[in-house]
Amino acid sequence: MSAVAVSAATIWFLSKDSYEDGYRVGNALDGDIQAGLEVTSPHTQVGNEYWVPLPTADNVSDQPLTLLRGEITQVPQGLKIVGYKALSHEDTDGHPLSASPVKGSPGVPNLTKLPDHSSRPSLVPAHEPGDVFWAARVRVTGKVTGDLTGCRYYYRQDGTEYRQDVACNSKIRLGPPLD
């Protein structure tokens, strides 16, 4: 095998581990910040929709980053994601820790009426928490067979676009309404 072939094979092998779906695999976000946190909502109803927050996007790297979008990667039978929204912690008075009805409820803001920041990327300074977080709008379509797991953020840092999976676990269960 020629040196050129070996070099090309080496470059392909090394680069395949650091890219997925055209994005470099990142590590600038604190992937463990909510690893032990389980969001549980035992009062959901079939046919209703809820906002489910993704974990906070805290930058643990030495360089600022621009948060582009977030998503949940594993959706069990009985739930359907119908959209995403980027929300500011300032508008929500902090980071919600459970699913909330799309129209709000006593003591819980109506996230549907709050400004959507998804059209403008959000700057997250080095070693700082992000102000913007993403939430999934989830419709309950039937018996829920598992948990919403696997959260993924996309961001740009120093001219390169990254995707990073962070731990998340949201239990959505049917139950009596809270009214």
Instruction: Look up residue 162 and give its two tokens.
Output: 């990254």
* Degrees to nearest 5, angle at CA 150 with 147 and 152: 145
In a domain, 14, yes or no: no
Instruction: Report yes or no on 115 lying in a domain.
Output: yes
User: Has residue 56 been placed in a domain?
Assistant: yes
Q: What is the pLDDT of residues 35-85, one digit of tens each?
A: 545 666 777 889 999 999 898 889 999 999 999 999 999 999 999 999 999
Please indicate, yes or no, if residue 111 is contained in any of the structural domains.
yes
pTM of the model: 0.82
Contact 114, 87 (CB under 8 A): yes
In contact, 172 and 39? CB cutoff 8 Å: no
For residue 158, give its domain range: 26-174
pLDDT at 57: 87
Is 158 part of any domain? yes
The reported pLDDT for the residue numbered 31 is 67
pLDDT exceeds 70 at position 1: no
Question: What are the beta bridge partners of residue 132?
Answer: 88
State the pLDDT at residue 13. Answer: 44
Which stretches within the chain are classed as H helix? Answer: 3-16, 89-92
Q: Choose between 34 and 23: higher pLDDT.
A: 23
Q: Is the dihedral of CA 136, 128, 121, 15 positive or negative?
A: negative
Separation CA 156–CA 154 (nearest Å): 7
148 has a pLDDT exceeding 80? yes
pLDDT exceeds cutoff 90 at 176: no
Distance CA 97, CA 131 (A): 15
Phi, psi angles (nearest 5°) of residue 7: -65, -45
For residue 93, tell me if it sits in a domain: yes
CB 99 within 8 A of CB 51: yes
Q: What confidence score (pLDDT) does residue 7 get?
A: 46
Task: Find the CATH number of the domain harbouring 128.
Answer: 2.60.40
Highest mean pLDDT among 19-23, 29-33, 117-121, 139-143: 139-143
Q: What is the pLDDT of residues 83-117, one digit of tens each?
A: 999 999 888 877 777 788 888 777 777 888 999 99
Count how many domains the chain has: 1
**Residue 11 domain flag:** no
Q: Is residue 20 part of a domain?
A: no
Residue 156's pLDDT is what? Answer: 97
